[in-house]
Amino acid sequence: MYLNQKPGWIEVICGPMFAGKTEELLRRVRRLEYAKKNIVVFKPTIDDRYANNEVVSHNNSRTKSVNIAYARQIFDYINKETDVVAIDEIQFLDEEVVKIVDFLAERKIRVIVSGLDKDFRGEPFSFMPKLLAIAEYVTKLTAICVKCGRPATRTQRLVDKKPARYQDPIVLIGAEESYEARCRRCHKVYRKPRPYKNEITT
Ligand code: TTP
Ligand code: MG
């Protein structure tokens, strides 16, 4: 599908936790490395779950990365030779990243990003809807619901093994100890407002 196009576009890999987003990003990066492309991989400093200057997936696949606290720092690490910019966990950067990746794609850079489309409440994660709208290609991955085995599209946050509350802060770094992949039916949030409760009866 890319063959007839000039380089320069945005690819988003999204979905819940445990869907293999990082692995998919690394797979795409690896293929480009074999092709000797000039690639820079970024990761927000906020996620310190794994090695500091590496992007690491659950299956321990890894590649060198630049940690950035602000989206603007991307410009400090790219130059005219850069063919590809990849960003893991993009949802943790500031919203300016949306304009920046658009600018990079205009400058004929292939941009590959991965991130959560929804937060633990099941609501769109900050600027991710904007990014999905401007991307040329979107890959929405699913995990497997730990409760029922259906495809999981949501991330369950657990606090003391109980579902987190709707009012809790959005950012809470972690993995197995605080999060699980769940399907729509098994996903639970305490005190989540239900706006359509009175309109729809099933
Ligand atoms: P991800 O890389 O999306 O999770 P993952 O590595 O399990 O998924 P994948 O295999 O698909 O790459 O990292 C998500 C991070 O975001 C993790 O540190 C927990 C955090 N997080 C929040 O801070 N708030 C939230 O609402 C959710 C759902 C996750
Ligand atoms: Mg990941």
pLDDT at 50: 60
pLDDT at 55: 81
State how far the Cα of 29 lies from the Cα of 64, in Å rounded to an integer.
11
From the CA of 1, how far away is ligand 1's center (Å)?
29
pLDDT at 197: 66
pLDDT at 15: 98
Q: What is the mean pLDDT of the chain?
A: 91
- Identify the band that residue 88 occupies on the pLDDT scale cut at 50, 70 and 90: very high
Residue 123 has pLDDT above 60, yes or no: yes
Atom of ligand 1 nearest to the CA of 155: 28
pLDDT at 7: 78
Q: Is 187 in the pocket of ligand 1 (CB under 6 A)?
A: no
Mean predicted confidence (pLDDT) in 100-107: 98
State how far the Cα of 138 lies from the Cα of 6, in Å rounded to an integer.
18
pLDDT at 84: 97
From the CA of 193, how far away is ligand 1's center (Å)?
23
- Stated as kind and residue range, the H or E segment containing 23 is helix 21-34
Atom of ligand 1 nearest to the CA of 22: 12
Neighbours of ion ligand 2 (CB under 5 A): 22
- Identify the band that residue 13 occupies on the pLDDT scale cut at 50, 70 and 90: very high
pTM of the model: 0.92
Q: What is the pLDDT of residues 40-49, one digit of tens each?
A: 999 999 866 6
Mean predicted confidence (pLDDT) in 35-43: 96
Non-local CB neighbours of 76 within 8 Å, separated by 6+ positions: none
Active-site residue numbers?
89
In the chain, where are the structural domains located? 9-143
Best residue among 58, 170, 179, 180 to mutate for probing ligand 1, ranked by most atoms within 8 Å of CB:
179
Structure tokens at 129: 């809807």
Q: What is the pLDDT of residues 160-174, one digit of tens each?
A: 999 999 999 999 998
66-68 and 39-44: which strand pairing? parallel
Q: Is 143 in the pocket of ligand 1 (CB under 6 A)?
A: no
Residue 2 has pLDDT above 60, yes or no: no
pLDDT at 54: 79
- Amino acid, single-letter form, for residue 108: K
pLDDT at 177: 78
Phi (first) and psi of residue 3, to 5 degrees: -60, -40
Q: Is 122 in the pocket of ligand 1 (CB under 6 A)?
A: no
- Beta bridge partners, 15, equal 116
Residue 57 has pLDDT above 80, yes or no: no
How many other C-beta atoms are found inside a 10 Å radius of the C-beta of residue 49? 9
- Beta bridge partners, 55, equal 63
Q: 32-35: long-range contacts at Cβ-Cβ below 8 A with a sequence spacing of 24 or more?
A: 32/83, 32/84, 32/110, 33/63
Under CATH, to which class is 9-143 assigned?
A: alpha beta
